[in-house]
Amino acid sequence: MKIGFIGLGNMGGPMAANLAKAGHDVTGFDAADVTIEGVTPANSAEEAAQGAEVVITMLPNGQILRSVADQVVPVMDKGAVLLDCSTVDVDSARAVAEQAQAAGLSALDAPVSGGVGGAQNGTLTFMVGGDEAGFDTARDLFDIMGQKAVHCGPSGNGQAAKICNNMILGATMIVTCEAFALADKLGLDRQAMFDVVSTSSGQSWSMNTYCPAPGVGPTSPADNGYQPGFAAELMLKDLRLAQEAASSADADTPIGEAAMKLYAQFVEEEDGNGRDFSAMLPRFEKRVRG
């Protein structure tokens, strides 16, 4: 398959490399001058998109996505698929999908879960919104870049699934860190805390898989000085997207809003920028009530 890939950063680069390694003809463009093994470099987004059966984008935000769509949609062949794997606001995803569909293209919004490791290892999960025909065309590509792709419904629903998931993740990580800090002050051993909670009703992915306490549970960024597997500033981005969507949909999300405010404080006023989102635990260790 002839593929154009726009956005060859920490996530997009290895995703494009995996597609090329699988035998696809991949032409890539990034605003930074990067070289990806097996990927033919293009001088512009338009050049990468011309003649492609699928154009994949992995971009930082909705504004940049809209700008790139303005460049590539007019040069794409009718019937081609515009597959956006960025995490952006729902309104931008739906606006770009409408633009693509009006030009005779299929459009998919397919944000991912799994981080840089998942991109490198081809084990990402894709949450996909858009038409069934586009999903069927891209299915083989999802199988190369990831381990699972879930069709969540019409355009925008992939982004909706991603931000709802990450709103839960942000809130559960905060309360998991709070609970460990409370356990410390109550004299409860962290291993005992983990052994109870991980097999009881308080269990969660934040506790069982990504435990924020060093030396407890499976290896996680806590065991590497909180070097980011998923950076706190990226969690803040997703929580803000969730609140934008909640505002647009007139949904009441007080816990999601509280999580966003805590991560904003952690990233913008404290030492959270550049650290893993589970570094909330040492933050709470140092704090007192009030």
Cβ distance 239 to 173 under 8 Å? no
Q: Which residues of 269-289 are buried (b: 16+ CB within 10 A; e: fewer)?
A: eeebeebbbbbbbbbbeeeee
Residue 162 bears catalytic tag: yes
In Å, how far are 122, 149, 166, 184, 236 from 282, measured between CA atoms? 32, 35, 21, 12, 18
Q: What is the DSSP string of 104-156?
A: T-EEEE--EESHHHHHHHT-EEEEEEE-HHHHHHHHHHHHHHEEEEEEEESTT
Which of 78, 162, 237, 261 is the catalytic position? 162
- Give the phi and the psi of residue 203 in degrees, each rounded to 5: -65, 150
| Residue 211, φ and ψ in degrees, nearest 5 | -50, 130
Beta-ladder partners of 171? none
**Helix pair 12-21, 132-145: axis angle to 10 deg:** 90
> Alpha-carbon distance 55 to 75, whole Å?
11
- Taking alpha carbons only, the member of 100, 123, 115 closest to residue 58 is 115
DSSP assignments along 60-104, one per residue: SSHHHHHHHHHHHGGGSPTT-EEEE-S---HHHHHHHHHHHHHTT
Helix (H, G, I), strand (E, B) or coil at 6: strand
Read off the tokens for 97.
């999908």
Instruction: Catalogue the active-site residues.
Output: 162
